Amino acid sequence: MRNLILTLLLITASANLQAQCDLITPLAEEGFENLIQTNEDGELQLHYENRRYRFEGLALQKVLEIIADTPCLSNSITLIIYNKGIPVTEIGTTKALIDDLISGTISAKEFTSSSSFDFTTKKKPKEKTTQSSYLKSDLAVGARTDYLLGNFDNPIRWTPMFLPSLQSTIAKGTQINTTFGVVLYDDLYNWETSRFRYAFASHNGRLPGGIFTRLSAGYFEQTQYGIEGHATKFFFGDQLRLDLNLSLTENRFLDTPPGRRAIDKNHFSYGFKATYRYTPWTTDLSIHYGRYIFDDTGYTVLLQRQFNEVFIGFFMREVDQQIVGSFGTLYDRNYGFQFTVPIGTKKHLKPNYFRPKTDEQYTLDYNYTGGVSIGRRIYAPGTVIAELEEYYPSTLQRALESLFKGH
């Protein structure tokens, strides 16, 4: 009899603890979206999307802290991280490891080597999503500087501008993005005015076999109007990445500056890119070959290191056109470096139907040997493929190792 009572008590306690393992409530309160929690065969699956933290590594750190604070019996835990409603990355770990990481019993390196990090092949479960990210809009303000070394009468030619933008995810993988450029000063182009820079709609997807896809239509940067498509496939985790991009556009202004006539000419551009990532140093070596949007054909080699949110890269471009640089110098190749740094706040306001925020990154290309109008591709900011580096398994591993460095 006593054994029966003890067994009943244990079952009740276990059920109670299981009931307490509610990760949805604290994560929703924190501002995470597209939340789903499932418990099957002792494995807890947690699906989440982050738009609260500027960096996915920081978001993952917060999620792990919340899991450590929550009593859960399921030892096996799988985290599936989403972007625009698309499952991207998967982390397999245990509750014990998370507890040890947060308490400082083990180092982040021990945690990452004992857990699995990879792109996910899982689909979104049928369970109801808590706190959907759809039909919510962000009004973000970013900045951009177009820059070219000048000559003796004007050493630096530049066009700095603020970029207020409106971005919204309408449904799973479908988003719209509109950006206005407030030109502060222009002695690079000498015709640029404040105007709409781009307005496009994109559909992001993930095909069977883990191929990320994007199809966009609308007005893009460089006064390009038309459609573009992009496909990305990874091999060996994130060590090898292959990209294919296609676009059919024509020069057309969304908001034509006075006195500026759009050139009526279609561009078909394409490109293939292969990227090798040396994961211990989160360093990419890539080569892109293709026909670019201003009808130049050639290749771009880029060596780039990612330090969490900071990217520093060196590039070399060669196209079938001579490159005009400062002092009118003609170059066969375009050398330069580029960097991307985080801007704004690390943590945004909670996502809502309308949320003001700062943009997340500032990027500058420095062309050492001229050439701002060669090797240009259609860029669709804010899309899943454009943001993939933050979701790389090696990026998240390295982020945890640096964020938990003091442990």
Partner 1 sequence: MNKPLTLLVACLLFATSISNAQSTIGTRGLVKAPTARMFEDGTLALGAAFIPPGYHKRTFGSKKGDVVPNAGLNTFVTVNLFPFMEIMFRYSHEINLPVTPITQYFPDRMFTARFKLLNETEKWPAVVLGMQDVVAFFDTNAAGGGSTPNFASTYLVATKNFNYKGFNIDTTLGYGSDIGDIPAKEFRGIFGGVEITTPYLEDTQLLLDYDATYINIGVQKQFFKRLHTMVSYYPNYQKVGWVLAYRYKMY
Residue 267 has which token pair? 């561009």
Which residues, at least 6 apart from 280, have a Cβ–Cβ distance to it below 8 Å?
Answer: none
Output the smallest distance, CB 26 to partner 1, in A: 29
Output the smallest distance, CB 283 to partner 1, in A: 7
Contact between 281 and partner 1 (CB under 8 A)? yes
Burial class (CB in 10 A: 0-12, 13-18, 19+), 98: buried
Output the smallest distance, CB 394 to partner 1, in A: 13
Contact between 354 and partner 1 (CB under 8 A)? no
- List the one residue from 149, 183, 254, 323 that touches partner 1 (CB under 8 A): 149
Output the smallest distance, CB 318 to partner 1, in A: 13
- List the one residue from 235, 236, 276, 327 that touches partner 1 (CB under 8 A): 327
Report the alpha-carbon distance of residue 371 to residue 313 in Å, rounded: 17
DSSP 280: G
CB 9 within 8 A of CB 26: no
**Nearer to partner 1 (CB atom), residue 196 or residue 368:** 368
- List the one residue from 145, 326, 363, 373 that touches partner 1 (CB under 8 A): 326
Tell me the CB-side half-sphere exposure of residue 168, using CA atoms within 13 A: 14
Report the alpha-carbon distance of residue 43 to residue 393 in Å, rounded: 21
Q: Which stretch binds partner 1 (CB under 8 A): 79-87, 150-158, 172-180, 386-394?
A: 150-158
Report the alpha-carbon distance of residue 88 to residue 79 in Å, rounded: 11
Output the smallest distance, CB 126 to partner 1, in A: 40
Q: Which stretch binds partner 1 (CB under 8 A): 6-14, 15-23, 39-47, 329-337?
A: 329-337
Output the smallest distance, CB 314 to partner 1, in A: 8
List the interface residues with partner 1, window 363-402 (CB under 8 A). 368-369, 398, 402
Report the alpha-carbon distance of residue 123 to residue 127 in Å, rounded: 12
Report the alpha-carbon distance of residue 301 to residue 320 in Å, rounded: 15
Contact between 331 and partner 1 (CB under 8 A)? yes
Q: Which stretch binds partner 1 (CB under 8 A): 102-110, 173-181, 229-237, 301-309?
A: 301-309
- List the one residue from 5, 152, 190, 406 that touches partner 1 (CB under 8 A): 152
Letters for 3-22 (x = contact with partner 1 by CB under 8 A, - = none) are: --------------------
- List the one residue from 142, 290, 325, 371 that touches partner 1 (CB under 8 A): 325
Report the alpha-carbon distance of residue 322 to residue 333 in Å, rounded: 8
**Nearer to partner 1 (CB atom), residue 84 or residue 398:** 398
CB 52 within 8 A of CB 32: yes
Report the alpha-carbon distance of residue 49 to residue 131 in Å, rounded: 10
Letters for 302-321 (x = contact with partner 1 by CB under 8 A, - = none) are: ---x-xx-x-x---------
Looking at the DSSP bridge assignments, the partners of residue 298 are 290, 319
Tell me the CB-side half-sphere exposure of residue 294, using CA atoms within 13 A: 13
Report the alpha-carbon distance of residue 265 to residue 324 in Å, rounded: 22
Radius of gyration of the chain (CA): 24
Report the alpha-carbon distance of residue 40 to residue 333 in Å, rounded: 57
CB 89 within 8 A of CB 382: no
Number of neighbouring beta carbons within 10 Å of residue 68: 15
- List the one residue from 289, 337, 362, 379 that touches partner 1 (CB under 8 A): 337
**Nearer to partner 1 (CB atom), residue 234 or residue 311:** 311
- List the one residue from 2, 3, 5, 153 that touches partner 1 (CB under 8 A): 153
Letters for 107-146 (x = contact with partner 1 by CB under 8 A, - = none) are: ----------------------------------------
Report the alpha-carbon distance of residue 91 to residue 46 in Å, rounded: 10
**Nearer to partner 1 (CB atom), residue 38 or residue 151:** 151
Looking at the DSSP bridge assignments, the partners of residue 230 are 214, 245
- List the one residue from 38, 103, 322, 329 that touches partner 1 (CB under 8 A): 329
Q: Which residue has the tokens 């190749």?
A: 333
Q: Which spans of this chain sit near partner 1 (rule: CB under 8 A)?
A: 149, 151-153, 155, 281, 283, 305, 307-308, 310, 312, 325-327, 329, 331, 335, 337, 368-369, 398, 402
